[in-house]
Structure 1
Amino acid sequence: MTTDNPYDLTGRVAVVTGAARGIGRACALRLARAGADVVIVDRDLEAAKEFGESLGAESVPAEIEAMGRRSAGYQADLTDQAAVDATVDAIARDFGRIDILVNMAGGMITPADRSKPSVVPIEDIDRVFAVNLNTVVFMSQAVARVMKTTGGGSIVSATGQSAITTYKQGLLANYGASKIAVLYFMRALAAELGPDGIRANCVSPGVTLTSRIASTAGDRGVGTQDEIDAIPLRRFAQPDDIAKAVEFLASDMAGYISGQCLSVCGGAVLTPN
């Protein structure tokens, strides 16, 4: 499937989790523009409605099909390994192959005001690890089995700025710990699956103005002017900023890159990770 354009993904099948809105949706659309057929997997395929995110069609798969690509949406609880296995089996049957997996499902889903390491409840830790780490583990394991039969592929998972630096006052400790676990898991996956032609990398987004963040930032104390002033590029990321990095890591341009974490933060983190 190699072409003269190393960003050309024509003929490849990409699976993007958490793609019904936000960064996941931006990744799905960008991969489709690059020529891939793109499968959407989300716990709620109508999630864009929750925070008023505007779509260009009645659904994300419909947006992709309008570009002339194949697409489909699969609704599944990715914290349930049996559900993940059944979903990936269905995708492989329906699309014939999986060349790219983008793990974007997850987030900081527990209250930030009790997320400091000295007080965070164990139930908040368990819940965040289930959503951020377990989903990556289950999807990566299931998709890797498919990739091994079709000549390899690229797996890209989202960590987060909290995985490579601490957040103010120690907040988001459970979230950051779960994302550090994702980073280590992906590096181990790269070491194991490299001989099978499977690359595994991470992107680490800074604060990104998704519809959810824009709607809840004030209540959570996220996205303040002080945070903008601390970013050398003096702005927060847009979802497509993250999607561009994912496109790079998924493409042949990153054909010799594996086990790495690309920080997409506008320069907010300037130390090695």
Structure 2
Amino acid sequence: MTGARLAGKTAIVTGAARGIGRAYALRLAKLGADVVIADLNLQGAARIGEELGAESVMAEIEALGCRSIGVQGDLRNPEAVAGLVAETMAAFGRIDILVNNAGVAVARGSGTLSTDTTPEAFDYLIAANLKSTQMCCAAVAPVMKQQKSGVIVNISSQTGISLLEHGNLAIYGAAKAGVAYLTRTLAAELGPDGIRVNAIAPGIIETARLKKLDPSMGVGTPEQLNAIALRRFGQTEDMANVLEFLATDLSGYVSGQVISACGGAVLHPN
């Protein structure tokens, strides 16, 4: 472990079977937390060719000396959200950290511009990104209130702060802008109960999934690289570094903030 700042804590990370979510989960475990891996597909890494250090993310966490369970389900559904919280409480008896990472940028059978988005795709993108986040926050709030402590870290996006070229990923960006606003409202609501709520707005991150995207989607282009002040796309560990700050007492007086972790692609106030 890199340290024991989170020893004795229990964290839920949604969308954690691969990519950035996996990096969040592993970092929390390295800090001493037991981690619940929630995902639509707990074998998601294999689908995109992402190599794990064990047979599953849960096994990776256990190899770090922490406990872990996996909970598979579609967090657009209230029943799945309730089940996630119930399984976490049954296994660990507490919830100290929630990382709302689950989400999706595109919908099959639909364009990515606002005027090209089908009604079905609109509903899907809002539910997968914004509704699921709100429901997970609402589900853990009673537990954290009883504990008089807790940390919620929502995952917004650079796209929720600043437009991509030509308005690409329009509804995804609208949903992630909603996540940023929701974060601020939750900070105001839950702060009196000792619960801090913040968000990370990642820029373009070089995940295994990104490398497999169709170039026609317009994500990860040379033009976007040149627009980044640091002239590199992000790595999953860059995002885990920000999470470490927000999930530990290093940020004990920080709440209601959206941290743009984009290498300087966004250089204006949130």
- Scaled by the length of structure 2, the TM-score of the pair is 0.96
Aligned residues of 1:140 and 1:155 also touching (Cα < 8 A): yes
Counterpart CA distance in 2 for 1:123 and 1:112 is 9
Contact 1:206/1:265 (8 A) holds in 2: yes
1:189 aligns with 2:194: no
Partner of 1:231: 228
- Asked if the contact 2:168/2:218 (under 8 Å) is kept, the reply is no
Q: Specify which of 135, 157, 178 is matched with residue 132 of structure 2.
A: 135
Of 35, 40, 57, the residue aligned with 2:54 is: 57
Match of 2:40 in 1: 43
CA apart distance, 1:56 = 0.2
Q: Equivalent of 1:14, from 8, 11, 15? A: 11
Give me the whole-angstrom Cα distance separating, in 1, the residues matched to 2:260 and 2:4: 20
Deviation, 1:22, is: 0.5
Tell me if structure 2 keeps the 8 A contact 1:7–1:248.
Answer: no
Query: Contact between 1:22 and 1:212, CA under 8 Å: does it hold in 2?
Result: yes
Give the Å deviation of 1:151.
2.3
Are 1:200 and 2:224 an aligned pair? no
Q: Is 1:158 aligned with 2:155?
A: yes
- Give the conservation status (yes or no) of the 8 Å contact 1:7–1:252: no
Q: How many residues align?
A: 269
| Residue 123 of structure 2: aligned partner | 126
* 1:163-183 CA-partner distances (Å, limit 9, x unpaired): 111110011110110011111
Equivalences for 1:77-226 in 2 at 5 Å?
Answer: 77-110=74-107, 114-226=111-223
How far apart are 1:116 and its partner, in Å? 1.8
1:262 has 2:263 as partner: no
Unmatched 5+ stretches in structure 2 = none
Q: SS of the residue aligned with 2:91?
A: helix
2:26 pairs with 1:32? no
Runs of 4+ in 1 over 4 A off after TM superposition: none
- Give 1:85 shift: 0.7
Deviation at 1:122, TM superposition (A): 2.0
Does the Cα contact within 8 Å between 2:76 and 2:131 map onto a contact in 1? yes
1:41-89 per-residue CA deviation (whole Å, 9 max, x = no partner) reads: 0011000011100000000010000010011111111000112112201
Q: Give how far 1:219 is off.
A: 4.0
State the distance in 1 between where 2:160 and 2:216 align.
22
Which amino acid letter does the alignment assign opposite residue 260 of structure 2? Answer: S
User: How big is the shift at 1:217?
Assistant: 4.7
In the alignment, structure 1 segments of 5+ residues that lack a partner are: none
Q: Deviation of residue 221 (structure 1)?
A: 2.3
Identity %: 51
- Which amino acid in structure 1 is aligned with residue 223 of structure 2? D
CA offset at residue 7 of structure 1?
7.3
The CA deviation string for residues 209-258 of structure 1, in whole angstroms up to 9 with x for no partner, is 11111111524221111111111111100111111111111110111111
CA RMSD, Structure 1 to Structure 2 (Å): 1.6
Change in CA separation of 1:139 and 1:91 when aligned onto 2, cut-off 3 Å: same
TM-score relative to the length of structure 1: 0.95
- CA shift for structure 1 position 112: 9.7
Deviation, 1:120, is 2.1
Q: CA deviation at 1:111?
A: 5.3
Alpha-carbon distance in structure 2 between the residues aligned to 1:135 and 1:82: 11
